[in-house]
Amino acid sequence: HIATSLPLPSERDHLRPRIDLIAFMIDIKSKYSLRNVEASLAHVDASFFLGKVCFLVTGVGRMNYCSVEMNAIWKLRDVYCSPVLFCELELEGVRVATAQRLLRMLQICAGHIPGVSALFFSTLMRNSADD
């Protein structure tokens, strides 16, 4: 399900399946997209932040067109305790690899991987990312 912002339109509530993972996409070239994500985060139930939310930062292939500061991204990661993935949508290889990563995360969040919970996995990701 693709949405431009949250909250989701209520008229489709009955058509929606259970949500296992929310990936917030931030275009590093657009401050507008960061503001949009920050506003949408307020509409997410707290239980999602136990491993069922991640931030996907796109557009990192063009660092000279950066509009969003990395500090803002790290702040989101810390405040919402959720991992950050980086990708460049215009490169097919990176795109496919990122999709595979998200799919793996989704499998964990949906409970399809025995022995690994969403919370455990996100803690794992956070600890390994901390330098």
Partner 1 sequence: MDETVAEYIRRTILRIPRDEIKTMLHKWGFLSEMQLQNINFHQIKENISQDVVQLCEENSADIKQAAVLDIIYNHIYPNKRVWSVYQMNKTGEETDFFDLKDFKKKFKRLLRSALKNVTINFREYEDNAIWIRIAWGTPYTKPNQYKTSYVVYHSQTPYVFISASVLKSNLPLLCQALLVASNYSDIREMELRSHSLNSLKDIVFKRYSQNFQTYYPTPLQERNVTPESADIRIIQENKNERERIQRVNREVFGDGPQPKLEFAQYKLETMFKSDPKMDVLDKREPFRCLVKFSSPHLLESLKYLAPAGMADAPLSPLLTCIPRKARNYFRIREKKGFFPGSFVSP
Residues that bind partner 1 (CB under 8 A): 1-5, 8-9, 12, 30, 32-33
Helix (H) or strand (E) holding 38: helix 31-41
Residues sharing a CB contact under 8 Å with residue 57, sequence separation 6 or more, in sequence order: 25, 26, 28, 68, 73, 84, 85, 86, 87
Q: Which is nearer to partner 1, 33 or 98 (CB)?
A: 33
Tokens, residue 76: 């989101």
Max intra-chain CA distance, the chain:
44
Q: Min. distance of Cβ 117 from partner 1 in angstroms?
A: 26
Q: Which is nearer to partner 1, 30 or 117 (CB)?
A: 30
Q: Min. distance of Cβ 48 from partner 1 in angstroms?
A: 16
Q: Min. distance of Cβ 119 from partner 1 in angstroms?
A: 26
Q: Which is nearer to partner 1, 5 or 100 (CB)?
A: 5
Contact 102, 21 (CB under 8 A): yes
Give the amino acid at 109: C
In sequence order, the β-bridge partners of residue 34 are none
Helix 70-80 vs helix 31-41: crossing angle, to nearest 10: 10
Q: Which is nearer to partner 1, 9 or 114 (CB)?
A: 9
Q: Min. distance of Cβ 8 from partner 1 in angstroms?
A: 5
